[in-house]
Chain A
C-alpha cells in the first residue's frame, strides 16, 4: 500500500521543478512548460486527497476540472500572447520584455 505522503512528496518535487523552470528559463514557452508542470503537481495533490480523504465526495474532482480549464485557457492565451509578442518585438525571451522598467 502506498501512503498518502508519497504522492504529496512527488507533487511537491514536481512543483519545485516546475517553479525552477518558471523562474529560471529565458524562453517564454519554456516558462509556460514550467507552469504546466506546476499545475500537474496540483492535480496530483487534488486527486490524492480525494482518494485518501474523501473518496465518496467529488469536490476535489470539481477542483480538478477547474484546474484543467485554467490550464487550457492559460495555454491558449499564453501561446497567443507569445506569438503576438514574437510578431511585434521579434523575441521570445522573457528578460528582453522589460518595458515596464522604470
Chain B
C-alpha cells in the first residue's frame, strides 16, 4: 500500500523528466531523444499497469482509494493540500491513458521517419519533403527524417505528463493544472509545423477556443472553493451533506443552486476541452499537427480529459437529483451532448479528408459520452470513453499510416499537388497496406458498433440502453447519430481501402514499417477485447459467461446514494443498435463502392445544397470570424486603444496640458516679460551683479599660492584681531 502510494507519485514523472532532459540536454541528438521519450512512456506504462492491477485487486477501493497528499499552498494559517489518488475511475483512466500514450510514442518514432536520411531542403517548421539518395547508380527520393525530431518527443512527453497529472489528481486544482498543461502542449503540437499558415491559425484557434471554456471552469473552481472551502474530490463529492448544502443554496445567478451553477461552469470547461457544440470548431483544425498528435488529442489525452472531468465531477452534477429528475447541469449535458453527436456526424458525412472525417467522428462520439452522463449513465459514459480511446487511437494512427503510405507514392511520382490526405486520391489500398487495412477495419467497425465482437458495440449499446430507459429524446438522437456514424465510417473504409486505386500515387503506396503497424496491432486487440469486460449480465446468451466486471468496479467508485444496479435487459435498444450499425455499414458500402471522384459523391445528389453546408461545416468558422474575431480585433484596436486611450483619456490629458500651456503663455507675455525681465531683470538682475562679478574676478588668479595666502590672511588675521580685541 505504501509502495503503491509512492508509485502513484512516480507515474507522471518520467514524461516530465523526458521533457526537461530533451529540452535542456538531448535536443541535438535524435536518437537520445526518442529513446528517452519512449523509455519514459514505457516506465509510466509499467508503473500504471502495476497500479492498475493492484487497484483491481484491492477491496473497497471506492471507499478507500490509494493515494497521499501533501501541503502545498499556505493559506489563512492552514494549508491547501494537493495529492494524487487512484480510485476506480482513475484506475480505469490510467489504464487506457498509459497504453495509448505508450503506443503513440512508439508510433511517433516511425511516423517521424526515424532512421531515414536528412532531407534535401527540409527546414524546421515544415513537414519533411523527402531526401534524394543514390542507390545502385540511380537516384530516387525517400522519406526524410523530421527536422524537429527531438522537439516532438519533448512536447509529447509534457503532454503525457499533463494527462497523467489530470487523471491522478485528487483535487480540482491539480486537475486544472494538468488540463492547462495539455492545453499548452496541444497548442505547441498542433502548431508543430508552424511554417504552414493553416497550422498557425489552428494552434491559436485551439488554444483560444479551449480557453473560453477554461476561464468559465476557473470561475467554477473558484466558486466551488469559496462555497466549500476545499477542492478535494473526496471531501466534496463523497460527502452527501456537502453536496446537499450546495444543492440547496441559491447562487443568485439565474435561479440556479450553487451546485447547479458550479456544475454548469465546469461543464463549459468540458465544452471547450472536449469540443462540444458550440466550441467544437478547434478540433477539426487540430488535424494540422502531426498524426500522432491527433491521436494524442483525440484519443489518449486532450478531449478525453474534458469528459473525464465531468465524469469525475458527476456526483456534483447530479447533486439534488431526485426521482430521476435531471439537474440543470445534467440537462445541459444531455442536450448539448446529443446535439453535438448528431450535428458532428452530419458534417462528417461530407468530408473528404481522411483525418477530418475522424475528427468529426470524435466530436460526435464525445457527444455520446456527454449525453450519456447527462442522463445519469455514469458507467456507460466511462466505458465508452475507454473503448473510444482505444479504437480512435487505432483509427488515427491507422490514418497516419495510410497518409504515410500515400506520401510514399507521392515521393515516387514526384507530383506534390496530390493531397495525400484526400480519400478520393486513394482506393484499393487494401492490397498495398494489408496490416494497416485490417487494423483500420477493426477500428472502423468498433466505431460503428459492429455487433458482439467489437468493444464499441458494447459501450454504445449500453449508452443506448440507458438512454432508452431515461430519455426518449436522447435515445432517438443518438440512434440516428449511430446510424450516420456507421455510414460515414464505411464510406471512409470503402473509399480508402476498397475498390481500385484512383491515382498513380495510390498505386505506388507502400505498407509502413513495424514502428507504425506494431502499435496498430496492439490497439486492434484492445479495440476488440476491452468490450468484454462490460458485457451486461442479462445479455442473452453471452451474459451467462460475464459478470459485468466494469459496472461493479466503476459503480462502487461512486458514492452510495448514486450507485444503481445495472439496467434490466431490454430488447428494443439492442435491436435498434444492431439495425443502425449493420444498416449503416451496409449502406455505406453499397453507396460508395464504385464512386470515382469527389464530384460524383452520391450524397451530393441526395442532399443537394445542404451538402455544401455540410462540406463547409455549417459555416461555423466563418460565422465565428464574423461575429467574434473581427469585432474583437476592431474593438481592441479601434475602440479600446485608438478611441478610448488615445482620443478620450490622452485627449483629456492634452486638454489639461493645453490649458496650462495657455495660462503659462499669458503669464509670460503679460507679466514675466514686461515686468520681471525688463524692469527687474535687465537692471537689477543684469547690471548690478555684472559689476560685482568684474570686481571679484580679479581674485581668481589661478595660482594656488594666492589662494593660500588669502586663506591664511583670513585665518591668522582673524586670530590676530581676535587676540587684540579679546585680550
Q: Do A and B have CB atoms closer than 8 angstroms in the complex?
A: yes
Interface residues of A (CB under 8 A from B): 19, 22-24, 31, 94-95, 97-102
| Bound CA span A22–B708, Å | 9
- A95-B697 contact in complex given A19-B712, A23-B709, A23-B712, C-beta closer than 8 Å: no
A-chain residues with CB within 8 Å of residue B708 when the two chains form the complex:
22-23
B226 within 8 A of A: no
Are A100 and B702 in contact, with the CB atoms below 8 A? yes
| Bound CA span A95–B701, Å | 9
A-chain residues with CB within 8 Å of residue B704 when the two chains form the complex:
94, 97
Q: Which listed residue, B700, B705, B709, B712, touches A101 by the CB 8 Å rule?
A: B700
User: Can you give 11 A-B contacts (C-beta < 8 A)?
Assistant: A22-B705, A23-B712, A31-B705, A95-B703, A97-B703, A98-B702, A98-B703, A99-B702, A100-B700, A100-B702, A102-B697
Nearest CB of A to B192, in Å: 68
| Bound CA span A24–B709, Å | 9
A-chain residues with CB within 8 Å of residue B697 when the two chains form the complex:
102
B707's nearest neighbour on chain A, judged by CB, is A100
| Bound CA span A102–B702, Å | 7
B699's nearest neighbour on chain A, judged by CB, is A102
Given contacts A22-B708, A94-B704, list 12 more A-B pairs with CB under 8 A.
Answer: A19-B712, A22-B705, A23-B708, A23-B709, A24-B705, A94-B705, A97-B704, A100-B700, A101-B700, A101-B701, A101-B702, A101-B703
A24's nearest neighbour on chain B, judged by CB, is B705
A-chain residues with CB within 8 Å of residue B700 when the two chains form the complex:
100-102
Are B705 and A98 in contact, with the CB atoms below 8 A? no
Q: Which listed residue, A95, A99, A100, touches B705 by the CB 8 Å rule?
A: A95
- In the A-B complex, the 5 residue pairs with the smallest Cβ-Cβ separation, listed nearest first, are A101-B702, A98-B702, A100-B702, A102-B700, A95-B703
Q: Which listed residue, A19, A22, A94, A102, touches B703 by the CB 8 Å rule?
A: A94
Q: From residue 691 to 727 of chain B, which have CB atoms closer than 8 A to chain A?
A: 697, 700-705, 708-709, 712
Q: From residue 390 to 424 of chain B, which have CB atoms closer than 8 A to chain A?
A: none
| Bound CA span A23–B713, Å | 11
| Bound CA span A64–B360, Å | 97
Q: From residue 663 to 714 of chain B, which have CB atoms closer than 8 A to chain A?
A: 697, 700-705, 708-709, 712
Q: From residue 603 to 646 of chain B, which have CB atoms closer than 8 A to chain A?
A: none
Nearest CB of B to A43, in Å: 20
| Bound CA span A84–B15, Å | 69
Are A23 and B705 in contact, with the CB atoms below 8 A? yes
A-B contact count (CB 8 A): 30
B698's nearest neighbour on chain A, judged by CB, is A102
Nearest CB of A to B723, in Å: 13
A-chain residues with CB within 8 Å of residue B702 when the two chains form the complex:
97-102
| Bound CA span A6–B709, Å | 27
A-chain residues with CB within 8 Å of residue B709 when the two chains form the complex:
23
Nearest CB of B to A64, in Å: 23
| Bound CA span A30–B709, Å | 16
Nearest CB of A to B696, in Å: 10
Binary interface encoding of chain B residues 448-465 relative to chain A, with 1 for a CB under 8 A from any of its CBs, else 0: 000000000000000000
| Bound CA span A19–B704, Å | 14
| Bound CA span A24–B697, Å | 23
Binary interface encoding of chain B residues 18-56 relative to chain A, with 1 for a CB under 8 A from any of its CBs, else 0: 000000000000000000000000000000000000000
Nearest CB of A to B701, in Å: 6
A26's nearest neighbour on chain B, judged by CB, is B705
| Bound CA span A23–B703, Å | 11
A102's nearest neighbour on chain B, judged by CB, is B700
Nearest CB of B to A89, in Å: 13
Nearest CB of A to B188, in Å: 64
Nearest CB of A to B705, in Å: 6
B-chain residues with CB within 8 Å of residue A22 when the two chains form the complex:
705, 708
Nearest CB of A to B706, in Å: 9
Nearest CB of B to A95, in Å: 5
Nearest CB of B to A25, in Å: 8
| Bound CA span A100–B701, Å | 8
| Bound CA span A98–B703, Å | 5
Nearest CB of B to A11, in Å: 15
A28's nearest neighbour on chain B, judged by CB, is B704
Q: From residue 235 to 269 of chain B, which have CB atoms closer than 8 A to chain A?
A: none
A25's nearest neighbour on chain B, judged by CB, is B705
Nearest CB of A to B595, in Å: 99
Are B701 and A98 in contact, with the CB atoms below 8 A? yes
A16's nearest neighbour on chain B, judged by CB, is B716
B-chain residues with CB within 8 Å of residue A101 when the two chains form the complex:
700-703
Nearest CB of B to A97, in Å: 7
B-chain residues with CB within 8 Å of residue A95 when the two chains form the complex:
703, 705
Nearest CB of A to B692, in Å: 14
| Bound CA span A23–B705, Å | 6
Q: From residue 80 to 139 of chain B, which have CB atoms closer than 8 A to chain A?
A: none
B-chain residues with CB within 8 Å of residue A99 when the two chains form the complex:
702
B-chain residues with CB within 8 Å of residue A97 when the two chains form the complex:
702-704
B709's nearest neighbour on chain A, judged by CB, is A23
Binary interface encoding of chain B residues 164-188 relative to chain A, with 1 for a CB under 8 A from any of its CBs, else 0: 0000000000000000000000000
| Bound CA span A101–B704, Å | 10
Nearest CB of B to A31, in Å: 8
A-chain residues with CB within 8 Å of residue B705 when the two chains form the complex:
22-24, 31, 94-95
| Bound CA span A85–B705, Å | 17
| Bound CA span A97–B703, Å | 7
Binary interface encoding of chain B residues 529-548 relative to chain A, with 1 for a CB under 8 A from any of its CBs, else 0: 00000000000000000000
A93's nearest neighbour on chain B, judged by CB, is B703
B708's nearest neighbour on chain A, judged by CB, is A23
Nearest CB of A to B650, in Å: 50
A96's nearest neighbour on chain B, judged by CB, is B703
Nearest CB of A to B450, in Å: 101
| Bound CA span A102–B703, Å | 11
A-chain residues with CB within 8 Å of residue B703 when the two chains form the complex:
94-95, 97-98, 101
Most buried by B among A97, A101, A102: A102
| Bound CA span A36–B709, Å | 18
Q: From residue 454 to 513 of chain B, which have CB atoms closer than 8 A to chain A?
A: none
| Bound CA span A98–B697, Å | 14
A99's nearest neighbour on chain B, judged by CB, is B702
Nearest CB of A to B253, in Å: 81
| Bound CA span A97–B712, Å | 20
B-chain residues with CB within 8 Å of residue A23 when the two chains form the complex:
705, 708-709, 712
Nearest CB of B to A36, in Å: 16
Most buried by A among B700, B701, B702: B702
A19's nearest neighbour on chain B, judged by CB, is B712
| Bound CA span A24–B708, Å | 10
Nearest CB of B to A94, in Å: 6
A-chain residues with CB within 8 Å of residue B701 when the two chains form the complex:
98, 101
Most buried by A among B701, B704, B712: B704
B704's nearest neighbour on chain A, judged by CB, is A94
